[in-house]
Amino acid sequence: MELPVILNKGSDGFIVAECPVIPGCISQGRTRMEALRNIREAIEVSLEGRDEEGWEPPSNYDLARVKVTDPRRPLRHPTKI
């Protein structure tokens, strides 16, 4: 089974790893490799308890990227000459 993982740099310098298809499944590590190792373990522990907790990971999901404009950056319009 392959599941998506999102990695972000935390304010403390650690790498935060989250599996968005498993609610609350978050871990961290000092390095990318350590964060991935830790989130893999967190996912495995979450999957072990799914029957008791009454949930199943989605069998089908779609990953997509969405392009957005940062509202803090003004739009640049070309100047007419």
User: What's the predicted TM-score (pTM) here?
Assistant: 0.77
The verdict on domain 6-52 having CATH code 3.30.160.250 is yes
Interval 21-64: pLDDT, tens = 998 999 999 999 999 999 999 999 999 999 998 888 888 889 89
The strands making up 15-18's β-sheet, listed across from edge to edge, are 6-9, 15-18, 26-29
For the chain, domain boundaries: 6-52
Comparing 38 with 69, which gets the higher pLDDT? 38
Largest Cα–Cα separation, the chain: 68
